[in-house]
């Protein structure tokens, strides 16, 4: 039995999108392949509110995050973490000998722009990484406010993990001054996993040019250079199925309208948050709770595994807490193409199982 | 109009395989996901004639090649190159600060086991990379003979690029002593691009454990550890569509029978080689010509671009020469699920266009 996915990726994928994954193959060095990648890039520029170049990577979002921190750090990276995926930036730096320090908040608490200012004012850092939407705790940082601070430091290249928010929340890349904004297909974009994308500013480009040992497969400069040299092609063989599906889905997203899409995500989030507060509590600071997934604090100490199993039997799937938060929280994603009716049905089923 | 692909990846993909790419999503931390990856691994062990662990990577083959050379080299890597994809190993080493030397043959000439012996006898190297099948020149190295030499050096970890041969030619990983054998889905396995796989020996595992800065996303040790810890799962979110399709296609491959499959590839190769020798010439040394793609030397100085265009108009696609060999050669792939009837039709069409 198929289980409808309310987990923060892979997300429930529409039949029409899945069918595009089955498009017959084309050569990746053809004009058709160039047109495909160019079309995707043009549409993603709208989604990210940017004029910057768009890079595609056949990898998960982690792949591009790793490429980004390697390509953006010449001196030292300041990693601002609000959870497991924030820490991942730091692990990536360490695993590649990239000098970095981590400034971590307790799970559920946001990155304070003042703290970013304080850290950057030391002059030690030329790269900053921030998690826009932390998938482990359901928290959204205010990247507009953080961006205002970072603008004071013209040598700093700013990388943002928007893996679980891009396409579900408004991210104004150019206005906020983000240099590299990373996302992947299996979250708010509503595709299967297997492809990651990022924006790439001129500042990020100039920085990458100054860095040796950027790696090969995940090297953002190489991705950029091949786009220029081969008219929107990819250094190796990209996942064409994901590109066909993404191209189609971006048309659907733009047809829905970005503002409408963001409003739909917020409406679902408001509904799930109200439910969470009625029966449990929100895990993250309420003012920073995410519009794409809700992390519920397990204040009743319910057996999360048992709840998930009971939901599975009804054809529904939610997530346990991530890492150390397993059992202490559970997570409900309300992203991509899910709608209010899906969410209402899910919560009714949970209420029924928990006898609320 | 769809063009039937005779290029060395992406390759013509059967409708049934494409349809599996459209399988509805599942959670990547579920028992179903574990069963899927375990099943694929068991079947790939048969294909590679190995008892070693199988690693999956959501990337092109290049991604795993990069991970392999980083994880396998503690002292210095000896890169034996017979063309563009051989050189790629060296570029990967340089881009990651991995000490390496390249020993390159002229395009079209094989790696001599004696030379490997000579180089290794210096004691300078603890990693060797060899291209099994060079996609740019249509040449297959004799990895059985090279393996006999490498066995004399127990400290050497041996990485093989079998991207354009695995599944189309017999590669006896355990018998030949290969530590890391890399391939990707869009060649002889007959799937769309977007996933890479490799074998991973205990020697490679022990070596990786001694190395820091293995990177993150392409780190073979991390891929291995998550398989052990989470019962055949993947560190980040893998390309589930490729996994569904690969699982299905491996059943088909094993049903065809590996020996039958290799024989079919050889029969197609013999036919194309005979044609090439009648009208042009083989580019690589004849005794080392590949069974999965034929690189034809353009002895008649035909306009390759014009030939390709004319074939396109008839719904067929072949490849130009790769890199510097563009125009000087052209390439016909006979891999994956193509058969003699496809090949005969293609060559008839070429004969018709070229008025042979």
What is the rounded distance in angstroms from the CA atom of residue A142 to the CA atom of residue A152?
17
Question: Which tokens go with B282?
Answer: 């083989």
pTM above 0.90, yes or no: yes
Nearest CA in chain A to B312: A30
- Cβ of residue B241 closer than 8 Å to a chain A Cβ: yes
pLDDT in tens, B319-331: 999 999 999 999 9
- In chain B, residues with a C-beta closer than 8 Å to the C-beta of A3 are 26-27
- Cβ of residue A241 closer than 8 Å to a chain B Cβ: yes
- For A320-335, letters b (16+ CB in 10 Å) and e give bbbeebeebbbbbbbb
Q: Which residues contact B278 (CB under 8 A, 6 or more apart)?
A: none
- How confident is the prediction for chain B on average, in pLDDT? 98
- In chain B, residues with a C-beta closer than 8 Å to the C-beta of A317 are 27, 30
Question: Which tokens go with B219?
Answer: 């780190």
- How confident is the prediction for chain A on average, in pLDDT? 98
Nearest chain A Cα distance for residue B277, angstroms: 26
- Between residues 163 and 192 of chain B, which touch chain A (CB distance below 8 Å)? 184, 186, 192
Q: Which class for B130: exposed (0-12), middle (13-18), buried (19 or more C-beta within 10 A)? A: buried
pLDDT in tens, A231-246: 999 999 999 999 999 9
Q: Return the closest-CA partner of residue A52 out of A40, A60, A44, A64.
A: A44
Q: Return the closest-CA partner of residue A194 out of B195, B64, B248, B54.
A: B195
Domains of chain B: 4-9+257-354 (3.90.1150.10), 25-254 (3.40.640.10)
- In chain A, residues with a C-beta closer than 8 Å to the C-beta of B332 are none
Are A192 and A163 in contact by the 8 Å Cβ rule? The answer is no
CB pair distance less than 8 Å for B66 and A216: yes
What is the rounded distance in angstroms from the CA atom of residue B161 to the CA atom of residue A50?
39
In chain B, what is the straight-line distance between the N-terminal and C-terminal CA atoms, in Å?
Answer: 26
- Cβ of residue A230 closer than 8 Å to a chain B Cβ: no
Are A70 and A215 in contact by the 8 Å Cβ rule? The answer is yes
Nearest CA in chain B to A6: B27
What is the rounded distance in angstroms from the CA atom of residue B156 to the CA atom of residue B130?
13
Residue A174, pLDDT above cutoff 90:
yes
Where does the pLDDT of residue A43 fall: very low under 50, low under 70, confident under 90, or very high at 90 and above? very high
- In chain B, residues with a C-beta closer than 8 Å to the C-beta of A184 are 237
- Between residues 93 and 152 of chain A, which touch chain B (CB distance below 8 Å)? 95-97
pLDDT for position A1: 87
CB pair distance less than 8 Å for B18 and A22: yes
* Cα angle, residue A62 at apex, residues B64 and A74 outer, rounded to 5°: 95
Q: 10 Å Cβ neighbour count for A174?
A: 14
CB pair distance less than 8 Å for B184 and A23: no
Q: Of A30, A218, A241, which has the smallest distance from its Cβ to B241's Cβ?
A: A241
Where does the pLDDT of residue A347 fall: very low under 50, low under 70, confident under 90, or very high at 90 and above? very high
CB pair distance less than 8 Å for A95 and B2: no
Q: Return the closest-CA partner of residue A201 out of A226, A176, A177.
A: A177
What is the rounded distance in angstroms from the CA atom of residue A133 to the CA atom of residue A8?
11
- Cβ of residue B305 closer than 8 Å to a chain A Cβ: no
pLDDT in tens, A183-197: 999 999 999 999 999
Residue B97, pLDDT above cutoff 90:
yes
CB pair distance less than 8 Å for B5 and A25: yes
CB pair distance less than 8 Å for B25 and A192: yes
CB pair distance less than 8 Å for A215 and B240: no
pLDDT in tens, A17-33: 999 999 999 999 999 99
């Amino acid at each position: 039995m198929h289980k409808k996915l309310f987990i923060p990726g892979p997300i429930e994928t529409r039949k029409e999108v899945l069918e595009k994954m089955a498009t017959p193959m084309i050569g990746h060095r053809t004009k058709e392949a160039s047109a495909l990648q160019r079309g995707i890039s043009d549409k993603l520029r709208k989604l990210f509110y940017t004029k910057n170049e768009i890079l595609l990577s056949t990898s998960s979002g982690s792949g591009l995050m790793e490429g980004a921190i390697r390509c953006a750090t010449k001196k030292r990276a300041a990693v601002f973490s609000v959870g497991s995926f924030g820490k991942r930036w730091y692990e990536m730096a360490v695993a590649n000998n990239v000098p970095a320090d981590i400034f971590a908040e307790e799970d559920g608490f946001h990155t304070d722009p003042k703290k970013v200012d304080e850290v950057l004012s030391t002059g030690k850092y030329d790269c900053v990484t921030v998690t826009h939407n932390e998938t482990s705790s359901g928290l959204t940082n205010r990247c507009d406010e953080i961006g205002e601070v970072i603008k004071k430091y013209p040598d700093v290249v700013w990388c943002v993990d928007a893996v679980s928010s891009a396409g579900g929340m408004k991210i104004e890349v150019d206005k906020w001054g983000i240099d590299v904004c990373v996302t992947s297909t299996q979250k708010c974009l509503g595709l299967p996993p297997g492809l990651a994308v990022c924006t790439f500013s001129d500042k990020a480009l100039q920085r990458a040019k100054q860095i040796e040992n950027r790696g090969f497969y995940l090297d953002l400069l190489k991705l950029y250079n091949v786009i220029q040299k081969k008219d929107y092609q990819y250094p190796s063989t990209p996942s064409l199925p994901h590109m066909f599906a993404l191209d189609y889905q971006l048309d659907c997203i733009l047809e829905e309208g970005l503002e409408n899409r963001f409003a739909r995500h917020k409406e679902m989030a408001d509904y799930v948050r109200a439910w969470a507060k009625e029966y449990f509590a929100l895990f993250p600071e309420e003012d920073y709770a995410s519009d794409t997934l809700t992390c519920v604090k397990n204040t009743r100490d319910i057996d999360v595994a048992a709840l998930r199993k009971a939901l599975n039997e009804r054809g529904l799937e939610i997530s346990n807490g991530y890492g150390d938060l397993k059992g202490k929280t559970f997570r409900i994603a309300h992203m991509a193409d899910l709608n209010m009716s899906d969410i209402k049905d899910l919560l009714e089923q949970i209420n029924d199982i928990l006898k609320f």
